[in-house]
Amino acid sequence: MLSGTPPFTLVTLNQSMHRADALAWETLVMNALQTLYIVSHPLRISRYGAHTSLSTAERVEIIDALTDTLGTALSLHSQLKRGQQKLRNVSFLPVQQLFQRLVRANADYADFLVMSITDLGGYAEAAVLYQLKDTRQPQCFADCLSGIHHGIRRLRAADVLLRDYRESALANKDNASKRFFEECMRHNAHFLTLLEDNLADEQPW
């Protein structure tokens, strides 16, 4: 035992590591089952219609891209929640209200991404992913902002990718996929604009 370290601290750390391993394994299994399902269902009919131009490989690629974006959204949620906690004692109410609004918008976007992944035949469990992203590491407010700015850059890259997918669907006259990607672009742009307008690099925090 390390000198000065209470026994319960090591036990808690060990339990946390086991939970993290279990969650990581569960996510791996879910991804494998997701890929198996997609391969056995080559044509996807979602609430947008039949995605006629998307091959199995393309759907897997798009689901992976949306899952990456979901990971970014959940990381942002974690950073925003930490920033919100750091502002608990700040008397400037508009700043507290801003972070509350961003956290709600973030949760709405994450829910949309989960639904979109499901639309294409994938699977995502937001509750599990929230736990994987929420490492609860102590951070100062500046570190939270740095993490948020990194997430903003990733959402910008996601916007470029979604536009490419939309153009491909348009060229292939796949109206269902075109509507799908336009909805993804709209939700991504809405959340990204909120972040850029309120937490851009040049904001004097």
- Position 52 in a domain: yes
At 29-43, the pLDDT tens digits run 455 545 544 444 456
**Residue 200 or residue 157, greater confidence:** 157
**What rounded mean pLDDT belongs to the chain?**
78
**pLDDT value at residue 19:** 54
Among 3-7, 55-59, 133-137, 177-181, the range scoring the smallest mean pLDDT is 3-7
How many domains are contained in the chain?
Answer: 1
C-alpha dihedral sign at 78, 11, 24, 33:
negative
**pLDDT value at residue 174:** 92
- Position 2 in a domain: no
**Residue 22 or residue 166, greater confidence:** 166
**Alpha carbon distance 205, 203 (integer Å):** 6
At 73-130, the pLDDT tens digits run 999 998 998 888 877 766 677 888 898 999 999 999 999 999 999 988 888 776 655 5
* Mean pLDDT of all residues in 135-145: 71
- Position 158 in a domain: yes
Question: In which domain, by residue range, is 173 found?
Answer: 7-199
**Alpha carbon distance 161, 58 (integer Å):** 13
- Position 142 in a domain: yes
Could you list the beta-strand ranges (E) of the chain.
45-46, 49-50
Enumerate residues 6+ apart whose C-beta is below 8 A from 74.
110, 126, 129, 130, 133
- Position 47 in a domain: yes
CATH code of residue 127: 1.20.1260.10
- Position 1 in a domain: no
| pLDDT of 138 above 60 | no
